[in-house]
């Protein structure tokens, strides 16, 4: 008789923690949480080998809702937190989650360098073009004429940050866009992102019912990408520049060297002390 | 020559020159040589802001006892040339008994040096150098000075090999020729080979190297950091050596990243550290609060420089105590330590790593440019002489399958809870910067806030730190109290006062937070006069000690900013108020 210990197959709901989300009813982030748990179940990842890392914002609450290891850090610094963890613990599946303000404004510099460092991380940005947790201010992806915030009564007057274009320019090796209203497509992209060896950037259009109710229309505006995934950055750039921001799918994937230190010890601290001896 | 009798027991000398003159190289060789000849030594360097070139000075003090600070004057000034020397003439105090050696071909001696009344002697360095193939003046001068200081020629040659070895054969060969040429051009009698060899092999180490060594001795295997003067040498030393130990160093995009990276790696179970200086520490402060709140151990070595803002990046000051103690928002108890010397950088950083790991908190170690970028000949630092009393070795309490309760932040008698590492089934939790309940779930309830605040405070204040909190030397009614690198001149001032009939005790604080108030008050005892000495403008330590009610009312402060190093004589004057002749 086979006595090997068989890990029972986990279902998506087994990856949900007992902590109740703080999100508003109808928030797109519920669908992202659901897609994360489905992807983890699909990949049969043991819970204790998964780390969910985030910064601050509505979407950054996600780690507490997943039954895995997690770190809810400070605003804008999810990517460094995750990069340090992955550098020290390459055996873990490290997934970073956050919003457009956290990732593209206060954390913008880390986004650039995480793309070019190409560590084996999955970065999910739940983009709703607004700061929700601070009650509705313009974010880097907000259109320049959106004037609903008292902070910017005339709109921002700035062209929006283009996450996929910047990810490509900064050297990300996996660039995709999903939609909270398309849970199956989102789960499939997440599975691909987690399996991708390198920095996988997944922008998720995730409507904010409270501060951007007009985003309910997104379900009519999104459409599948009309380009097959490419490994050619020039082709990807052409596509991304022409994109209306609503195309869904995997745009660009390329095998690039992954930054991951892995050194076997060959010395002890006592060995190092010899260099100082006269 | 007369110099032999006055200088051979130890001396303080400076070698100055413009960029490319090799003043610092000559100083490095001389330090290595005095070490091989059986002396202790301390080599400081002073450089201008230029990236390359500009003026530089190497300042060496050596003698038969451990050297912990520069003296108050220089016996010897070796001027390879005089370009821009006026910029740091105030760092090179000379007097009538000082000797200035130069080559008349280097041009007239600057008026500011002439005014000191020092004797001046011209040496034929250039002529001797020109007689050698690819000869260099700095090496000729080095050989000549070595002979005048009574150093054996083989010690100078060994010092040159150790310092120039990786520059290749021709540079080394011509340098050795020049050293021999200079050495034999004096009328000093040659010294027998290795006449003064030390009984045990001593070390030649800088404070920044010592901090790196302390880190790896403490168990650090991951470092993330951003380059900054004067801390970069800590990182440059660590980067290749961490790889040999199976660890790694990640050069981050900025200090906001580096502090958060080491929080991430430490969460993963690897003892982690970063090194920086004032501007970088300022950027890291929010991250330090996260490490405190999430109880993730991290260590920051802050190599202080003149502040505020960009300040004086290449010069020393002890002005980051306030930010280290008080920079974090909220009630955020953490450890603040200060290295008391170059050799002590090994111990203090090693101890800080152990304490941070054991107490699952932040440790900030204050070093400074003076310690970090100076080199010294020291006795080999053995095992950490002041570990904690009850907990040996200091290490992290890792969660296991056997834990009856996996709640990450559950209260415990000593405030330290087992920390499950990713990979442990059943230990899953989300580390939090939000206030949280015992299981880690975010909470804004008063009862949870009070419980977690108390846990984080009491695990630090209730710990027994043993006797490592300070170094105390001597007895006397007079007391000099200091912290960090000012310990060097303070210890020397106290020793000289004792030697001249003024019994003086010196206390140098290594652990500043949590302040060991009871132990400090006991050590202060009934001292009749108390002077708190530090190198900053606003008496940051003096004010802190008063705020903690750790000083008698009659305690006085002697605080002045950098960049000039504190000197023993000014401390003696400030304590006893009489005129004390400045001596080395």
Write the pLDDT tens digit of every residue in A162-205. 999 999 999 999 999 999 999 999 999 999 999 999 999 999 99
Interchain pair A83, B261: CB under 8 A? yes
What is the mean predicted confidence (pLDDT) over A66-90?
A: 98
Are B103 and B120 in contact by the 8 Å Cβ rule? The answer is no
Distances in Å between the Cα of A12 and the Cα atoms of A40, A188, B150 are: 7, 14, 80
pLDDT of the residue at B378? 97
Residue B553 has pLDDT above 60, yes or no: yes
How far from B349 is each of B225, B273, B340, B382, B488, CA to CA, in Å?
16, 10, 11, 14, 18
Q: Does A70 touch chain B (CB under 8 A)?
A: yes
Distance from CA of B314 to the nearest CA of A (A): 24
Closest residue by Cα to residue B21 from B61, B59, B60, B52: B52
Higher pLDDT, B557 or B193: B557
Least confident of B99-108, B181-190, B406-415: B181-190
Peptide bond into B563 cis (omega under 30): yes
| Residue A135 neighbours by CB under 8 Å, 6+ apart | A211
Residue B75 has pLDDT above 80, yes or no: yes
Read out DSSP for A21-67?
Answer: P-PPTT-THHHHHHHHHHHHHHTT--GGGEEEEE-SSSGGGGGGGBS
CATH topology identical between B204-378 and B470-576: yes
User: Hey, where are the domains in chain B?
Assistant: 2-184, 204-378, 470-576
The residue of chain A with its CA nearest to that of B425 is A48
Strand locations in B32-118 (E)? 40-47, 55-63, 76-79, 99-102
Cα(B358)–Cα(B60) distance, integer angstroms:
39
Report the pLDDT value the prediction gives residue B569, as an integer from 0 to 100.
94
Q: Give the torsion through C-alpha atoms of A194, A195, A201, A202, to 10 deg.
A: -60
Q: Which residues of A touch B214 (CB under 8 A)?
A: none
CATH no., domain B2-184: 3.40.920.10
d(Cα B405, Cα B393) in Å, to the nearest integer?
A: 24
pLDDT band at A11 (very low <50, low <70, confident <90, very high): very high
Does position A70 have pLDDT exceeding 70, yes or no?
A: yes
Burial label, B99 (beta-carbon count in 10 A; 0-12, 13-18, 19+): buried
From A82, A91, A276, residue closest to B203, measured CB to CB: A276
DSSP secondary structure letters along B126-140: HHHHHTSTT--HHHH
Instruction: For residue A51, list chain B residues with Cβ-Cβ distance below 8 A.
Output: 268, 422
B76-92 burial, b if ≥16 CB within 10 A, otherwise e? Answer: bbbbbbbbbbeebbebb
Burial class (CB in 10 A: 0-12, 13-18, 19+), B241: buried
> What is residue B390's predicted lDDT score, i.e. its pLDDT?
56
Phi first, then psi, for residue B432 (nearest 5°) are -130, 140
Q: What does the alpha-carbon distance between residue B338 and residue B344 come to, in Å, rounded to a whole number?
A: 9
Mean pLDDT in residue range B181-197: 75
Average pLDDT of chain B to the nearest whole number: 93
The answer to whether B233 and B209 are in contact (CB under 8 A) is: yes
Q: Do B224 and A64 touch (CB under 8 A)?
A: no
Share of chain B above pLDDT 90, in %: 83
Cα angle at A102 between A101 and A106, to 5 degrees? 85
pLDDT score of B8 more than 90 = no
- A contact residues 256-275, partner B, Cβ 8 Å cutoff: 261, 263-269, 271-273
Q: Is A238 on the interface with B (CB under 8 A)?
A: no
What is the Rg, in whole angstroms, of the alpha carbon atoms belonging to chain A? 20
B239 pLDDT band, cuts 50/70/90, is very high
**Helix, strand, coil content of chain A in percent (nearest 5):** 35, 20, 45
Q: ipTM of this predicted complex?
A: 0.97
Interaxial angle between packed helices B153-164 and B169-184, expressed in degrees from 0 to 180 and rounded to the nearest 10: 160
DSSP one-letter code for A7: P
Question: What digits encode the pLDDT tens for the residues A100-133?
Answer: 999 999 999 999 999 999 999 999 999 999 999 9
Question: What is the pLDDT averaged over residues B536-558?
Answer: 98
Band of the pLDDT at B5, cuts 50, 70, 90? very low
Predicted local distance difference test score (pLDDT) of residue B56? 83
Q: For position B462, what pLDDT does the model report?
A: 96
**Fold topology of B204-378:** Rossmann fold (3.40.50)
B268–A84: do the CB atoms touch at under 8 Å? Answer: yes
- Report H helices in B131-231: 137-148, 153-164, 169-184, 207-217
Domains along chain A with CATH numbers: 19-276 (3.40.50.970)
- Across the interface, whether the CB atoms of B430 and A64 are under 8 A apart is answered yes
Which pLDDT score, from 0 to 100, does residue A58 have?
97
Strands B55-63, B11-18: pairing kind: antiparallel
CB B264 within 8 A of CB A81: yes
A76–B431 C-beta distance less than 8 A: no
Task: Identify the CATH number of the domain defined by range B470-576.
Answer: 3.40.50.920
Interface A-B: count of C-beta contacts within 8 A = 194
Question: What percent of chain A shows pLDDT beyond 70?
Answer: 97
Q: To the nearest whole angstrom, how far is the Cα of A152 from the nearest Cα of chain B?
A: 27
Cα B213 to its chain centre, rounded Å, is 13
Q: Is the pLDDT of residue B456 over 70?
A: yes
Q: What rounded mean pLDDT belongs to chain A? A: 96
What are the chain B neighbours of A277 within 8 Å (beta carbons)? 201-203, 380
Residue B216 half-sphere exposure, CB side, CA atoms within 13 Å?
Answer: 28
First-to-last alpha carbon distance for chain B, in angstroms, is: 21
Whether residue B1 is predicted with pLDDT greater than 60 in this model: the reply is no
Percentage of chain B beyond pLDDT 70 is 93
pLDDT value at residue B172: 93
Closest CA to B344 of B381, B377, B374, B317: B381
């Amino acid at each position: 008789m086979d006595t090997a210990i068989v890990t029972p197959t986990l279902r998506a709901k087994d990856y949900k923690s007992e902590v109740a989300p703080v999100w508003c009813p109808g928030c797109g982030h519920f669908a992202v949480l659901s897609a994360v748990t489905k992807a983890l179940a699909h990949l049969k990842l043991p819970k204790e080998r998964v780390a969910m890392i985030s910064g601050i914002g509505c979407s950054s609450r996600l780690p507490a809702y997943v039954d895995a290891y997690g770190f809810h850090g400070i605003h804008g610094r999810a990517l460094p937190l995750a990069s340090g963890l992955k550098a020290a613990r390459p055996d873990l599946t490290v997934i970073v989650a956050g919003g457009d303000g956290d990732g593209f404004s206060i954390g913008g510099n880390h986004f650039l360098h995480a793309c070019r460092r190409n560590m084996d991380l999955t970065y999910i940005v739940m983009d709703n073009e607004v700061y929700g947790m601070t009650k509705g201010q313009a974010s880097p992806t907000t259109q320049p004429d959106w004037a609903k915030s008292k902070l910017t009564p005339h709109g921002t007057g700035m062209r929006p940050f283009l996450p996929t274009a910047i990810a490509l320019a900064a050297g990300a090796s996996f660039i995709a866009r999903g939609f909270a209203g398309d849970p199956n497509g989102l789960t499939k992209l997440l599975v691909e992102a987690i399996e991708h060896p390198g920095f996988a950037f997944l922008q998720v259009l995730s409507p904010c019912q409270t501060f951007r109710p007009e985003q309910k229309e997104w379900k009519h505006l999104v459409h599948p990408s009309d380009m097959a995934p490419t490994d050619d950055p020039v082709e990807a750039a052409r596509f991304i520049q022409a994109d209306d921001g609503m195309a869904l799918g995997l745009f660009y994937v390329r095998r690039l060297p992954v930054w991951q230190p892995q050194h076997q010890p060959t010395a002890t601290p006592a060995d190092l002390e010899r260099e100082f001896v006269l | 020559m007369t110099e032999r009798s006055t200088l051979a027991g130890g001396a303080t000398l400076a070698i100055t020159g413009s960029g490319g003159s090799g003043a610092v190289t000559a100083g490095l060789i001389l330090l290595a040589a005095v070490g091989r000849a059986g002396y202790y030594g301390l080599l400081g360097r002073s450089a201008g802001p230029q990236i390359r070139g500009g003026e530089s000075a190497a300042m060496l003090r050596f003698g038969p006892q451990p050297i912990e600070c520069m003296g108050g004057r220089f016996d010897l000034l070796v001027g390879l040339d005089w370009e821009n020397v006026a910029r740091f003439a105030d760092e090179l105090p000379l007097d009538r008994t000082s000797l200035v050696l130069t080559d008349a071909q280097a041009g007239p001696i600057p008026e500011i040096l002439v005014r000191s009344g020092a004797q001046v002697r011209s040496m034929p360095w250039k002529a001797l150098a020109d007689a050698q193939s690819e000869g260099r003046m700095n090496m000729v001068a080095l050989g000549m000075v070595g002979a005048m200081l009574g150093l054996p020629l083989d010690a100078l040659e060994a010092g040159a090999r150790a310092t120039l070895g990786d520059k290749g054969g021709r540079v080394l060969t011509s340098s050795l020729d020049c050293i021999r040429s200079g050495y034999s051009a004096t009328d000093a009698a040659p010294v027998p080979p290795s006449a003064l060899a030390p009984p045990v092999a001593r070390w030649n180490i800088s404070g920044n190297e010592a901090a790196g060594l302390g880190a790896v001795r403490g168990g650090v295997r991951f470092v993330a950091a951003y380059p900054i003067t004067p801390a970069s040498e800590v990182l440059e030393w660590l980067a290749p050596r961490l790889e040999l130990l199976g660890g790694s160093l990640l050069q981050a995009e900025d200090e906001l990243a580096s502090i958060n990276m080491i929080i991430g790696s430490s969460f993963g179970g690897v003892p982690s550290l970063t090194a920086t200086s004032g501007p970088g520490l300022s950027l890291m402060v929010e991250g330090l609060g996260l490490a405190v709140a999430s109880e993730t151990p991290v260590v920051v070595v802050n190599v202080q420089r003149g502040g505020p803002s960009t300040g004086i990046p290449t010069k020393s000051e002890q002005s980051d105590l306030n930010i280290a103690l008080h920079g974090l928002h909220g009630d955020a108890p953490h450890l603040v330590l200060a290295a008391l010397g170059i050799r002590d950088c090994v111990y203090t950083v090693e101890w800080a790593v152990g304490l941070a790991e054991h107490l699952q908190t932040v440790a900030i170690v204050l070093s400074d440019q003076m310690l970090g970028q100076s080199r010294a000949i020291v006795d080999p630092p053995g095992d950490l002489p002041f570990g904690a009393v009850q907990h040996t070795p200091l290490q992290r309490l890792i969660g296991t399958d056997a834990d009856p309760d996996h709640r990450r932040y559950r209260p415990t008698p000593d405030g330290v809870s087992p920390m499950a590492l990713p990979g442990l089934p059943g230990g899953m939790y989300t580390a939090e910067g939000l206030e949280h309940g015992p299981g880690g779930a975010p909470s804004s309830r008063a009862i949870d806030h009070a419980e977690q605040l108390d846990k984080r405070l009491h695990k630090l204040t209730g710990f027994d730190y043993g006797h490592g909190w300070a170094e105390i030397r001597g007895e006397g009614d007079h007391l000099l109290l200091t912290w960090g690198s000012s310990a060097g001149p303070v210890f020397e001032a106290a020793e000289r006062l004792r030697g001249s009939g003024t019994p003086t005790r010196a206390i140098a604080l290594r652990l500043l937070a949590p302040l060991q108030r009871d132990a400090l008050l006991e050590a202060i005892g009934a001292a009749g006069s108390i002077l708190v000495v530090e190198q900053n403008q606003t008496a940051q330590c003096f004010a802190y000690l008063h705020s903690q009610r750790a000083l008698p009312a009659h305690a006085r402060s002697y605080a002045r900013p950098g960049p000039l190093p504190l000197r023993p004589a000014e401390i003696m004057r400030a304590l006893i108020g009489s005129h004390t002749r400045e001596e080395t």
